[in-house]
Structure formats: structure tokens, C-alpha cells
């Protein structure tokens, strides 16, 4: 069963790993995923990133169909991994000791 809109079917291979609803889940996925996998996701999604945002913007935030919500979660994950690829070159920021994210609330969706 596809998790993403049909227009983004080529990204379906990343849905199980990266369609994560919370920032702590995305952070943990980034830390636990080998950089070659992160690069594969980044390289596949980068050319479609702005298009994905525009696609999500067609719907009211409180009425997103499930496949569009999954696409939005993929966008959020892309933001999380982009720092690993573009800035740090590794999953964990350098000199960050034992950095964790503890959110007490999160934006919805």
C-alpha cells in the first residue's frame, strides 16, 4: 500500500524509514542511519523538495489526507538530514557531547 501521493512514487522507498511524525523520531533516525543511506535519501529528494512543499501547500494543514501528511513528514525528515549532509558531513553534530532533543510539545501536523 503506497504511503505517498502518486506524484511522488519514486520516493516511496524512503517512506518507511523517514515518514516520522515527531522531531525526536527524526533525530533518532538521523543518528542511527549510516551516512550512505542518508545521502541516498538526500540525493533522491533534493530535486523534488520544493515541489513536495508546494504539493502539501494545496491542502489546509488541519485537513491533510494521510498520503500528503506522510509527504509532509518526509519534508520534515529532509530538513533534519540536510544538516548532516550539507553542514556536518556526519549524522551527529561535531562537539555536541550527548545532544538530544526533548520536546514538550510539537507543531501539528
- For the segment 87-109, the average pLDDT, to the nearest whole number, is 70
Q: What is the dihedral of CA 106, 19, 41, 96, to 10 degrees?
A: 30
**Considering just the CA atoms, what is the radius of gyration of the chain in Å?**
14
Answer whether residue 74 shows pLDDT above 80.
yes
All structural domains of the chain with their residue ranges: 10-87
* pLDDT score of 99 more than 70: no
SS3 34: coil
The answer to whether 4 and 74 have CB atoms below 8 angstroms apart is: yes
Q: What is the pLDDT of residues 27-54, one digit of tens each?
A: 999 999 999 999 999 999 999 999 999 9
Amino acid at each position: 500500500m503506497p504511503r505517498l501521493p502518486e506524484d511522488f512514487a519514486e520516493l516511496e522507498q524512503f517512506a518507511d524509514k523517514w515518514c516520522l511524525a515527531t522531531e525526536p523520531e527524526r533525530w533518532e533516525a538521523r543518528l542511527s542511519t549510516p551516512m550512505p543511506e542518508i545521502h541516498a535519501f538526500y540525493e533522491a529528494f533534493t530535486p523534488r523538495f520544493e515541489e513536495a512543499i508546494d504539493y502539501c501547500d494545496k491542502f489546509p494543514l488541519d485537513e491533510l489526507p494521510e498520503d500528503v501528511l506522510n509527504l509532509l513528514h518526509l519534508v520534515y525528515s529532509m530538513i533534519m538530514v540536510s544538516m548532516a549532509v550539507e553542514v556536518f558531513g556526519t549524522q551527529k553534530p561535531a562537539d555536541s557531547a550527548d545532544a538530544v532533543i526533548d520536546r514538550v510539545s510539537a507543531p501539528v501536523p
